[in-house]
Structure 1
Amino acid sequence: MSKFRETLKRAGLNTFFFLLVGMIFLAKLFPEWGTSESPLPLKTITGAGISFIFFFYGVKLSPQKLKEGLSNWKLHLLVQSTTFLIFPLIILILYAIWGSEDSYLWLGTFYLAALPSTVSSSVVMVSIAGGNLPAAIFNASISSMVGIFITPLWMDLILPETAVGFDLTDTFIKLSLQVLFPVIIGLFVHPYLIKFVNKHQVALKNFDQAIILLIVFTAFAESFAENMFEGHSAGELIWLGVLMLGFFFLMMGLMYMVSRFFNFTREDMITLVFCGSKKSLVQGAVMGRVMFPDPVIFGVILLPLMVYHSLQLMAGSAIAQKLGEGRIKT
Structure 2
Amino acid sequence: MASLIKREWYTIAIFGMVVLASILPIGGEPAEVFSVATNLAIALLFFLHGARLSRDVVIAGMTHWRLHLFVLVTTFVVFPILGLIVLAVPNLMTPALATGILFLCVLPSTVQSSIAFTSIAEGNVPAAICSASASNILGMFLTPLLVGLLFHTKGGGGFSLGALEGILLQLLAPFILGQVLQPFLGRWLSRHRTLTQFVDRGSILMVVYGAFSEAVIGGLWHKLSAEDLVAVVVIDIVLLVAVLCFTFYVSGWFGFNRADRITITFCGSKKSLASGAPMANVIFAGQDVGSIVLPLMIFHQIQLMTCAVLARRFASSAKAAAAPENAKTV
TM-score (norm 1): 0.90
Q: Determine the structure 1 residue equivalent to 2:37.
A: 45
- Superposed CA RMSD in Å reads 2.5
For residues 48 and 27 of structure 1, what CA distance do their matches in structure 2 show? 20
Q: Determine the structure 2 residue equivalent to 1:28.
A: 22
Cα offsets for 1:75-119 (capped at 9, x unmatched):
111011000111001111222234669611111011101000000
Structure 2 residue corresponding to 1:154, chosen from 131, 146, 155: 146
Deviation at 1:266, TM superposition (A): 0.6
* Kept in 1: contact 2:31–2:210 (CA 8 A): no
**Closer/same/farther in 2, CA of residues 249 and 100 from structure 1, 3 Å limit:** closer
Deviation at 1:307, TM superposition (A): 0.4
For residues 93 and 157 of structure 1, what CA distance do their matches in structure 2 show? 16
* Kept in 1: contact 2:43–2:174 (CA 8 A): yes
Q: How does 1:1-330 map to 2 (within 5 A)?
A: 14-31=8-25, 33=26, 35-38=27-30, 41-98=33-90, 103-160=95-152, 166-294=158-286, 297-326=288-317
Tell me the matched-pair count: 320
For residues 156 and 24 of structure 2, what CA distance do their matches in structure 1 show? 25
* Kept in 2: contact 1:165–1:293 (CA 8 A): no
* Kept in 2: contact 1:115–1:151 (CA 8 A): yes
Deviation at 1:178, TM superposition (A): 0.9
| More moved, 246-255 vs 80-89 | 246-255
For residues 143 and 124 of structure 1, what CA distance do their matches in structure 2 show? 16
**Closer/same/farther in 2, CA of residues 179 and 39 from structure 1, 3 Å limit:** closer
For residues 312 and 171 of structure 1, what CA distance do their matches in structure 2 show? 28
SS in 1 for 2:88: helix
Deviation at 1:163, TM superposition (A): 7.8
**Closer/same/farther in 2, CA of residues 216 and 74 from structure 1, 3 Å limit:** same
| More moved, 45-54 vs 61-70 | 61-70
SS in 2 for 1:313: helix
**Closer/same/farther in 2, CA of residues 287 and 328 from structure 1, 3 Å limit:** farther
Gaps of 5+ in 1: none
Deviation at 1:68, TM superposition (A): 1.5
* Kept in 2: contact 1:165–1:292 (CA 8 A): no
* Kept in 1: contact 2:71–2:267 (CA 8 A): yes
Letter in 2 for 1:25: V
* Kept in 2: contact 1:145–1:180 (CA 8 A): yes
* Kept in 2: contact 1:164–1:292 (CA 8 A): no
| More moved, 302-311 vs 153-162 | 153-162
Gaps of 5+ in 2: 322-330
* Kept in 1: contact 2:44–2:199 (CA 8 A): no
| More moved, 39-48 vs 209-218 | 39-48
Deviation at 1:251, TM superposition (A): 0.7
Letter in 2 for 1:144: N
For residues 24 and 54 of structure 1, what CA distance do their matches in structure 2 show? 24
Cα offsets for 1:256-287 (capped at 9, x unmatched):
22112112111111111111101001001121
For residues 245 and 165 of structure 1, what CA distance do their matches in structure 2 show? 27
* Kept in 2: contact 1:116–1:279 (CA 8 A): yes
